[in-house]
Amino acid sequence: MPTFILFCKDKPKSLDLRMATRERHLAYAGTFASQLKLGGPLLDENGDMAGSVMLFEAEAIEEAQAFSANDPYRQAGLFESVDIHPMRVTLGKLG
């Protein structure tokens, strides 16, 4: 199954919004446990959460786009940008 990387950058000074939305985001992401192969926050120079990176398996990019569009973080307006790209896993193992 194809893999897509989602690279999401938070808007500046939005840590409070991220924290207020975090539990809903984690619950939502958990419903995709079979497709979401890796996920975690990007950190800024102070070690604070400042974005998200996720590896998502789907048959088509539209599935990854729909997953992203319905993410509570995105619906809350947390992200400054969201980039979704297909990728090929060469090193490491998804499973």
Q: For 42-69, how does the pLDDT look when each residue is reduced to its tens digit (9 = 90+)?
A: 999 999 999 999 999 999 999 999 999 9
User: Would the pLDDT of 92 be above 70?
Assistant: yes
In a domain, 93, yes or no: no
pLDDT category, 91, cuts 50, 70, 90?
confident
| Arithmetic mean of pLDDT over the chain | 95
Q: Into how many domains does the chain fold?
A: 1
Q: Are 40 and 52 in contact (CB under 8 A)?
A: yes
In a domain, 76, yes or no: yes
pLDDT category, 93, cuts 50, 70, 90?
confident
User: Would the pLDDT of 95 be above 70?
Assistant: no
In a domain, 95, yes or no: no
In a domain, 94, yes or no: no
Domain that holds residue 72: 3-87
Query: At 80, which helix (H) or strand (E)?
Result: strand 79-87
In a domain, 51, yes or no: yes
- The CATH number of whichever domain residue 56 belongs to comes to 3.30.70.1060
Task: Output the pLDDT for position 89.
Answer: 83
User: Would the pLDDT of 94 be above 90?
Assistant: no
In a domain, 92, yes or no: no
Cα torsion 65, 67, 72, 74 to 10°: value is: -10
